[in-house]
Amino acid sequence: MIATITLNPSMDDHISVPRLIIDEANRWSHLNRYAGGKGIDVSRAIHEMGGKTTAYGFIGGPVGRGVEILLDEEGVPFSFTPIRQETRTNFIINDTTTSQQTRIDAPGPHISRKELERFRRKLRQIYPDAALLVASGSIPPGPPASIYYEIIMEAKSYGINSILDTAGQWLEEGIKAKPCLIKPNVHEAEMLLGIKLTSEEAIIKAALKLVDTGIEIVVISRGQDGLIAATKDTIVKAVSPSVKVKSSIGAGDCTVAGLALKLAQGEPLIEACRLATAMGTAAVLTPGTALCRKADVEKLLPQIKVWEIPPTGQMSLFSATNITTNW
């Protein structure tokens, strides 16, 4: 079982308007609601691919109950810690004329010390049964910025590896615990290291620099350009075919889900990167905050190109025919 942590879940309202005009009354044509939050998205994607997962985090009020109902309808297992304040609502506005998206995120409810303590007690109940822990997303008001560091260190004490996918101060604090894997995008990696990553070579060097700090696997996602993954022994590059993008929201979470699925099964990193790239690409084929569909992932898998870059710097291309796929 892969446990995911979403400290700041949300109800994501995806609103479509024919043309968004500032300072004017706008009428929406479609409204779709999704259970949101990065860790929840990871669980939803894992579940879609047939993996076992449980989503953990905080939930509160009628909005929080709505999140639970949506997850229950999808069949995604969860075990949330109830809080007094209400779960946040985010708004994603899609201009159907320009295909541009505007996202408005709420900061989230304040988490009290007692609520945080209850959450930590619940989390301890999953150890050591979880195969992997995925901690993703922002931290709501209340918990310290070091909360991911504390969670990862505690998981380590039970022999559980962790994947961390967050940004800014939360990433800076969390990597001090040396998680098994981190997955910043290029911008997040630039912010973390304080440098510009304007070439593939620079991205590879950045990934290796982070590996040198004690993180076992560093994956830097590059949007339509795929991803670069590095360990102390190897570098992997994965590239997807060109597809028509309907929405990029959730693509990174589906990428993390693919990495988690394969790594939890003990599969090689190169196969984890191939599945992750297929799932991330499949996510952009769906509108709003809808995630990847298994059928799309299976169609894309044979089209994913994966290279392993050995220490000599020479590239070898692994075709889909000589890399097995096991869910």
Which are the catalytic amino acids? 253
Of 13, 187, 20, 186, residue with least CA distance to 100: 20
Rounded to whole angstroms, the Cα distance separating 36 from 19 reads 25
- The token duo for 75 is 């069949």
Please answer whether residues 192 and 171 qualify as being in contact, where contact means their C-beta atoms are separated by less than 8 angstroms: yes
CA atoms in the 13 A half-sphere facing the CB of 320? 15
**119: which residues sit within 8 A by CB, 6+ positions away?**
56, 57, 58, 81, 111
User: What is the residue-wise DSSP string for 259-293?
Assistant: HHHHHHTT--HHHHHHHHHHHHHHHTTSSTT----
Q: Residue 59 has what DSSP assignment?
A: E
Rounded to whole angstroms, the Cα distance separating 277 from 262 reads 12
The amino acid at residue 18 is P
